[in-house]
């Protein structure tokens, strides 16, 4: 086993252990993948101010996200098909998050169901919903999330239609997957993954199969997914869904200041500045470049969260220093899960925490809630490069 000290180490191991079809599904963006790449590379444009001779004792990374205590302001983002990266992946990730003291978000498109995760954890998690046409199904999802004790829902607004992802099409990555000769040959070399997968019953979309109208078995899934998403979604519908849930709501997929104002006006508990990890509109701004304008527009009206491109604790610190109150990681924890299961998710969180704490200290700060733009050196045209 190689010595693992970075998220990049976990990513290498993830690639080695997991079938190509599922690894590529995680490690790809839409079209040319420009936005996917810039989500990470734009972080490198921001530099940190080294400070010296500052008392660094008694440091803390503790904070809150939507009023909930967190060991560090880093939640696990909703990621579909997590249970295909490692058997029962959602349960493993939720357990790791719970032990670490950070929020876990379950995707609508998870393999383990809401009930599976609730039965195998002890603390409330967050549930992410896509905006679907079928009101009865939405209502039932909310009822199930409530019964499972979910303390907030995240409504994802940037996937009314699916951005085209070339790797997925070429790999036959659909619901259910279409296996080709090449993918079967690849599967045969990933026997560790395969043995674990044979030992679990959880191999299909647990929140959908047997729950959505007309989806009694996995083969009917692809026609359901093509039909189910609400192409007519507008802000009135968002308000209606928020009312249907009635509890804490986080609106995800905001990349534009005008949209941020609309989301804040609806009374959301938080918004997430996000471009879906570069998987939707290719050519859109990276999340970190979009963040300052959104904070200027609504930073005093709604809690602003951030995701996209975080691969280290330094990236987390940069987003927080710009003004985000909380962050989410997607691929960083999926790399850990695919590499080493639950222990890998814990490892990913440990790595990010260590980097966050050390970098904060070297910037002369002791409390994560006190970091601000003063610790950053941001290029003059970082926000205004495009009109």
Ligand X SMILES: Cc1cc2nc3c(=O)[nH]c(=O)nc-3n(C[C@H](O)[C@H](O)[C@H](O)COP(=O)(O)O)c2cc1C
DSSP per-residue letters across 160-212: SSPPP-HHHHHHT-SSS----HHHHHHHHH-HHHHHHHHT-S--S-TTTTTTS
- Give 364's contacts (C-beta < 8 A, 6+ positions apart): 49, 51, 52, 54, 56, 375
CA atoms of 313 and 30, how far apart (whole Å) = 26
Query: Nearest approach, Cβ of 158 to ligand X (angstroms)?
Result: 8
Coil, helix or strand at residue 129: strand
Query: Nearest approach, Cβ of 309 to ligand X (angstroms)?
Result: 5
Contact 299, 332 (CB under 8 A): no
Considering only CA atoms, which of 286, 300, 169, 155 is closest in space to residue 230? Answer: 155
State which residue, 163 or 292, has the beta carbon closest to ligand X. 163
Angle between helices 331-362 and 89-100 (to 10 degrees): 20
Dihedral class, residue 106 (left if φ above 0, else alpha if ψ from -120 to 50, else beta): beta
Query: Nearest approach, Cβ of 129 to ligand X (angstroms)?
Result: 9
Active site residue 276: yes
C-alpha pair distances (Å), 306 with each of 48, 171, 300, 316: 19, 30, 16, 9
CA atoms of 299 and 72, how far apart (whole Å) = 20
CA atoms of 383 and 387, how far apart (whole Å) = 10
Contact 361, 321 (CB under 8 A): no
Query: Nearest approach, Cβ of 78 to ligand X (angstroms)?
Result: 4
State which residue, 253 or 292, has the beta carbon closest to ligand X. 253
C-beta nearest to ligand X: residue = 330
Given the rule CB under 6 A, which residues bind ligand X? 25-26, 39, 77-80, 107, 109, 128, 156, 252, 274, 276-277, 279, 307-310, 329-332
State which residue, 207 or 365, has the beta carbon closest to ligand X. 207
Query: Nearest approach, Cβ of 352 to ligand X (angstroms)?
Result: 11
State which residue, 162 or 377, has the beta carbon closest to ligand X. 162
Query: Nearest approach, Cβ of 38 to ligand X (angstroms)?
Result: 11
Residue from 166, 231, 276, 305 carrying the catalytic annotation: 276
State which residue, 249 or 365, has the beta carbon closest to ligand X. 249
Query: Nearest approach, Cβ of 293 to ligand X (angstroms)?
Result: 19
State which residue, 334 or 340, has the beta carbon closest to ligand X. 334
Residue 153's DSSP bridge partners are 127, 249
Contact 274, 158 (CB under 8 A): yes
CA atoms of 310 and 306, how far apart (whole Å) = 9
Q: Quick one: 195 exposed, middle or buried, by C-beta within 10 A (0-12, 13-18, 19+)?
A: exposed
State which residue, 11 or 279, has the beta carbon closest to ligand X. 279
CA atoms of 278 and 214, how far apart (whole Å) = 31
Residues identified as active-site: 276
């Amino acid at each position: 086993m190689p010595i693992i000290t970075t998220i990049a180490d976990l990513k290498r191991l993830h690639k080695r252990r997991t079938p190509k079809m599922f690894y590529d599904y995680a490690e790809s963006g839409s079209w040319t993948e420009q936005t996917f790449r810039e989500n990470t590379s734009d972080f490198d444009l921001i530099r940190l101010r080294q400070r010296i001779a500052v008392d660094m004792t008694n440091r803390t990374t503790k904070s809150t996200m939507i009023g909930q205590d967190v060991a560090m302001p880093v939640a696990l983002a909703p990621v579909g098909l997590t249970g295909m990266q490692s058997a029962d992946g959602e349960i493993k990730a939720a357990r790791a998050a719970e032990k670490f003291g950070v929020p876990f978000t379950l995707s609508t498109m998870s393999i383990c169901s809401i009930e599976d995760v609730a039965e195998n954890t002890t603390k409330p998690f967050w549930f992410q919903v896509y905006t679907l046409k079928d009101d009865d199904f939405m209502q039932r999802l909310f009822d199930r999330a409530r019964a499972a004790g979910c303390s907030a829902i995240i409504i994802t607004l940037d996937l009314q239609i699916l951005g085209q992802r070339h790797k997925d099409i070429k790999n036959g990555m659909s619901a259910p997957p279409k296996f080709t000769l090449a993918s079967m040959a690849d599967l045969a070399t990933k026997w560790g993954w395969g043995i674990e997968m044979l030992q679990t019953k959880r191999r299909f979309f647990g929140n959908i199969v047997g729950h959505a109208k007309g989806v009694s078995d996995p083969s009917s899934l692809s026609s359901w997914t093509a039909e189910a998403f609400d192409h007519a979604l507008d802000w009135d519908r968002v308000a209606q869904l928020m009312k249907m849930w009635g509890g804490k709501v986080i609106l995800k997929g905001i990349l534009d200041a005008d949209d941020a104002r609309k989301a804040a006006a609806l009374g959301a508990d938080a918004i997430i500045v996000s471009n879906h990890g570069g998987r939707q509109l290719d050519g859109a701004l990276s999340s970190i470049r979009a963040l300052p304008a959104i904070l200027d527009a609504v930073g005093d009206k709604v809690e602003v969260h951030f995701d996209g491109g975080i691969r280290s604790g330094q990236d987390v610190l940069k987003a927080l220093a710009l003004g985000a109150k909380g962050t989410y990681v997607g691929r960083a924890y999926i790399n850990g899960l695919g590499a080493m299961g639950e222990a890998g998710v814990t490892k990913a969180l440990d790595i990010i925490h260590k980097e966050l704490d050390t970098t904060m200290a070297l910037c002369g700060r002791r409390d994560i809630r006190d970091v601000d733009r003063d610790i950053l050196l941001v290029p003059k045209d970082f926000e205004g490069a495009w009109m």
